[in-house]
Structure 1
Amino acid sequence: MHRHDPIRILQDLIRCPSVTPAEGGALAYLDGVLAEAGFTVDRPVFSEVGTPDVENLFATIGSGAPHFVFAGHTDVVPPGDEAHWLHGPFSGDIVDGMLYGRGAVDMKGGIAAFTAAALDFLAESGLKRGTISLLITGDEEGPSINGTVKLLDWAAKKGHRFDAAIVGEPTNPERLGDAIKIGRRGSLSGTITVQGRQGHVAYPHLAVNPIPQLMKLIRRLTAEALDHGNERFDASNLEFIGLDVDNKAWNVIPAEASARFNIRFNDEWNRDTLEAWLRSRLQEAAGNEIDFELELVPTGSASFLTHSDKLIGTLSDAVEASTGRRPALSTSGGTSDARFIKDYCPVVEFGLVGQTMHQIDERVSVADLQTLTAIYRGFLDQYFA
């Protein structure tokens, strides 16, 4: 049994409707729990023109090295039509060993587990050396502009130097203990716009239809694989995720057409080499006949791979001790705030099974929540031994 109950903490967090960018009471709740245990808690709010203000939390206890960080986010995606939920999205109900609610898996469950583990560790073992911090944002499910990336910069300017971090994202595919994420592919998004000439569909010779031209460019970009992956990462992939001509009329050839895409890329690429690849193939397909523009989204992320034997080995040992399974070391999946943390210290991701994240009736096994807490506690015991 845990002295500090992760089940109760998770229920309390789920009952805070913290849909991005609303704080919803979740950070205030953690503030109270952590301050009572002796943490120094700050809740900086960050702003940027064109984006909502976001409140964040940084809690720390101890001093000096090693400085270990648990990281995560209390913001959640919208629940959708609440009438479709068997149990209310902000109820925290427990039925047949499953705890229901938005954020149960992604990722209030991880926060509840590492909060309980840290509090138990401090109460039972005491922090004889080093520092433990919790870095929590309210902006991970949103634009990720006023959250972790700014909170890390804020902490660094306060003099904090981190040695290792675990992000409590739901990274296990089937069973708790399946995998630790030790890296991620990068992400690059962009839009291709083709300029045509508007005209009447009955007089196509007086117009230039941009849609077939855009399709020609799309076919060129999807005609070949970016790569075939390597021993470290899955293959890179380019996916078109939106087409737009902004035309509701049936008798008008539109003036322009655009397509949005996202690339998830491994360590064989970076932003510059991908841009060069895109432009060369688009120009090859366009020749002198198609007037196009390529605009890349300025935000994105590079691929990364963590090499810390202490961090990875200690967490692997803790997982094996609690589950009996040695976790695989994985770089699959999407992105997380680890892409920002990697610039400050070695970082891995480990949390709950992610099968119901963002779904109706998102839920977590109570047994898994308790086991995850034991894993985090075992990690702290070894890391600060």
Structure 2
Amino acid sequence: MPATRLLAEQLIARPSVTPLDAGCIEMIAARLAPLGFVNEIIDSGPDTFRVRNLWSKRPAAHAGQARAAIKTIVFAGHTDVVPTGPLEQWSSDPFAPTERDGKLYGRGASDMKTSIAAFVVAVEELIVAQPNAPLHIAFLLTSDEEGPAVDGTVVVCNVLKARGERLDYCIVGEPTSVERTGDMIKNGRRGTLSGKLTVKGIQGHIAYPHLARNPIHDLAPAFAELVAIEWDRGNAFFPPTSWQVSNIHGGTGASNIIPGSVVVDFNFRFSTESTPESLQQRVEAVLQKHGLEYELKWTLGGLPFLTTPGDLVTAVQAAIHAETGLETELSTTGGTSDGRFIAQICPQVIELGPPNASIHKIDEHIALADIEPLKNIYRRVLENLAAA
């Protein structure tokens, strides 16, 4: 069995449902140590939600260059997986990796234990072939990406920032491809900003509206205005910023009571053309314009990031083409990832992984034919950057 698949199966077999790591990080650390990596376990969070993080780095040999001139590339990912859902709906045990019809089934097969296995084997192959490659290589792994993501990658990034650790490139192993590994990579992600709006009224009998004030009616004109706003027009890499309402709750359930308040949950997915501050100011200006009595709590889930074509994108595109013949598509679509934290301390971040059609689903899987090409692409990226 190829080394990448073997390691992927060993990781899938560990039931690391977020925030549990189930020993995955120790397994990876033990594998990296003989290669010259210095492992640092960084635990975070309360005892009831303990998160395990790994920062592991292999300094490059001088290789005729000043050490300060040697670039650092980080492979980043998560060992935690989402819950399985109803076990009886799986065709096989989600934590017993199973081959069937040319696919490898198991929770985490695509998101993203195969990527982690491919990272490790790609690095092993590079070090065997080029033990003095002029690259500092590092791994940043967490067991808190599928959960709240407050004790995972962001904690490690804060530690590295406080130390003044310089990162130059980062590849996040998120499943970004559509049909074939390498057909799409993410060179950025939109930011996410959520709001919980409570508009206050006066509760009363519906037959005596003059003795009450209906907050739903008060909110409606402001709602209409917010829906119609063009927040920005996006740019060459991002679609326009989107504002969407996810929940509205008002009333007691009785049909003859005017509610005393209405609560609205909404979210912005925003491009680099807007800032959290500008979006907050524009929303509150509309609410104040309509004279609403309200409370508004904001939650910034992540800032947008963008890696414009440069050294890393060029190295990745060339690696994908050499391995698969594909001309990869750059994209910033989809949800958030831990790339949003890494981008705060690393100027070039891309996401590259296998097809994502089955992620978070019953019978999650990866095509066997995608595993070795993924590992080879990662190795080729290292070779391209080492030769640059």
Q: Which TM-score applies when normalising by structure 1?
A: 0.91
- Give, in angstroms, the shift of residue 308 of structure 1: 5.6
SS at match of 2:96: coil
The CA distance in 2 between the partners of 1:27 and 1:247, in whole Å, is 49
1:154 and 1:334 mapped to 2: Cα distance? Answer: 25
Indicate if the aligned counterparts of 2:251 and 2:258 stay in contact, CA closer than 8 A: no
- Deviation at 1:198? 2.4
For residue 368 of structure 1, the aligned residue among 354, 367, 370 is 370
Amino acid at match of 1:362: E
* Aligned residue among 23, 39, 59 for 1:62: 59
Task: Indicate the residue corresponding to 2:305 in structure 1.
Answer: 304
Report the alpha carbon displacement of residue 378 of structure 1 after superposing the two structures with TM: 0.9
Does the aligned pair in 2 maintain the 1:195–1:292 contact within 8 Å?
Answer: yes
2:214 to 209, 215, 218: 209
- Secondary structure of 1:384's counterpart equals helix
Q: What is the CA distance between 1:134 and its match in structure 2?
A: 0.6
Q: 1:153 to 1:325 in 2, by over 3 A?
A: same
Say whether residues 1:283 and 2:281 are aligned partners.
Answer: no
What does residue 335 of structure 1 align with?
Answer: 336
Q: Which amino acid aligns with 2:40?
A: D
Corresponding position of 1:29: 27
| CA distance in 2 between partners of 1:217 and 1:175 (Å) | 45
What code does the residue aligned with 1:176 have?
A: T
1:246/1:10 CA distance change after superposition, 3 Å = farther
User: Secondary structure of the residue that 2:194 maps to in structure 1?
Assistant: strand
Question: Is 1:93 aligned to residue 95 of structure 2?
Answer: no
CA–CA distance in structure 2, aligned partners of residues 89 and 218 of structure 1: 44
Task: Flag structure 2 segments of 5+ consecutive residues without an equivalent.
Answer: 61-66
- Name the counterpart of 1:38: 36
Deviation (angstroms), 1:311: 0.8
Distance 1:173 1:128, change over 3 A: closer
Is the deviation greater in 151-160 or in 246-255? 246-255
Aligned residue number for residue 6 of structure 1: 4
Alignment RMSD, CA only? 2.2
Kept in 2, the 8 Å contact 1:221–1:282? The answer is no
1:231 pairs with 2:242 = no
- Supply the distance in 2 between the matched residues of 1:99 and 1:381 (Cα, whole angstroms): 28
Query: CA offset at residue 68 of structure 1?
Result: 1.0
CA distance in 2, matches of 1:271, 1:384: 38
User: How far off is 1:202 after superposition?
Assistant: 4.7
Higher mean Cα deviation, 353-362 or 228-237? 228-237
How big is the shift at 1:264?
0.8
Which amino acid in the other structure matches residue 94 of structure 1?
E
Cα deviation for residue 205 of structure 1 reads 3.7
Once the two structures are superposed, residues 203-248 of structure 1 have per-residue CA deviations (whole angstroms, 9 ceiling, x without a partner) of: 4443323233344433221123323332221121111112233735
Which amino acid in the other structure matches residue 37 of structure 2? Answer: F
Give the partner amino acid of 2:325.
Answer: G
CA distance in 1 between counterparts of 2:99 and 2:93 reads 11
Are 1:84 and 2:92 counterparts? Answer: no
**Structure 2 residue matching 1:300: 3-state secondary structure:** strand
Residues 95-124 of structure 1 deviation map (CA, whole Å, 9 limit, x = unaligned): 111111121111112111111111221223
Distance in 2 between residues matched to 1:161 and 1:54, nearest whole Å: 24
Alpha-carbon distance in structure 1 between the residues aligned to 2:254 and 2:41: 51
1:330: how far off?
1.8
Matches within 5 A, 1:1-385: 5-47=3-45, 52-63=49-60, 64=67, 65-158=70-163, 160-245=165-250, 247-249=252-254, 251-284=256-289, 286=290, 288=291, 290-297=292-299, 299-307=300-308, 309-345=310-346, 346-385=348-387
Distance change (3 Å), C-alpha of 1:373 and 1:203: same
Number of aligned residues = 378
Aligned counterparts of 1:55 and 1:202: Cα–Cα separation in 2: 58
Instruction: Decide whether the 8 Å contact of 1:62 with 1:129 is kept in 2.
Output: no
1:175 and 1:130 map into 2 onto residues whose CA distance is: 29
Distance 1:119 1:248 in 2: 62
Aligned partners of 1:57 and 1:69: how far apart in 2? 12
